[in-house]
Amino acid sequence: MTTRVAVIGATGKMGRLVCDLVDNDSDYELIARLDSSSALSEMLGADVAIDLTVPAVSQGIVDYALDNGIRVLVGTSGWSQSRIDSLRHRITGRDTVGVVIIPNFSLGSVLGTALSALAARFFDSIEIVEAHQSSKIDSPSGTAVRTAELMAAARAGLVPVAAPHIDQRARGQQIATVPVHSLRMAGVLARQDVIFGGSGESLTITHNTLSAEAYERGIMVALAATRECVGVTVGLDQLIDLGLSGPAADEPAAAAVPPAGPEEAEMEPGE
């Protein structure tokens, strides 16, 4: 059955990309394109609403959609853990709605974050430097926040990350004890470096977004998952099998992602 989709933030770069992807897939019908002047009621009748707006309005969009029985795919950055926890509490026990929150639709970025979490147990000195275009209004990025949180979870039971002189403003913002430094400048799309320091060595895991093509496969994986989602799911890593570990016993196996076709193989990136 065709899934009816409404895109909120349809006139932005990501919004236009998502609208084109939905329009070109026979499994979906794009029934509404909302911009900043649209009434939220224009999304009524959709099975899935895709939020690609800004942090200041994202919460209201999600609340409106859920109040009207519409599942939501959130591609807006800036959702804090406290807001996510509040959202989980709000829809607990409701099996007809759900929310999928994706800090970054890029498969390469998700792998970079997963590899960072894997490495985090072996280094006590860790910092993140993330860079985005000057028009990105929030910092740190949602990807950097999730990377720091997953690394902290992987380090549970170990000593805190070493972050000397953290009282100095130039030392970045601590997220889950990890210093995060944000650049907002022209000439950049999205880049993240996770830097690990050890005795006599360092390791850097870098993901660099080269074009918006990087997001396409992740968008479609997330949209497919949103059609029947229940509760709150955070991160593309929860929807695909990264091959780093088996699924938990009480979780369904993640979907496999088809390999990039010949036209996609050269482009593979972030947020």
Residues labelled catalytic: 132, 136
Residue 142 C-alpha from the chain's centroid: 6
Strand partners, 196: 126, 203
What is d(CA 37, CA 143) in angstroms, rounded to the nearest whole number?
A: 29
Residue 190 C-alpha from the chain's centroid: 13
> Is the CB of residue 182 less than 8 Å from the CB of residue 139?
yes
Pairing assessment for the beta strands 190-198 and 173-175 based on DSSP bridges? unpaired
Write phi, then psi, for 90 (nearest 5 degrees): -65, -40
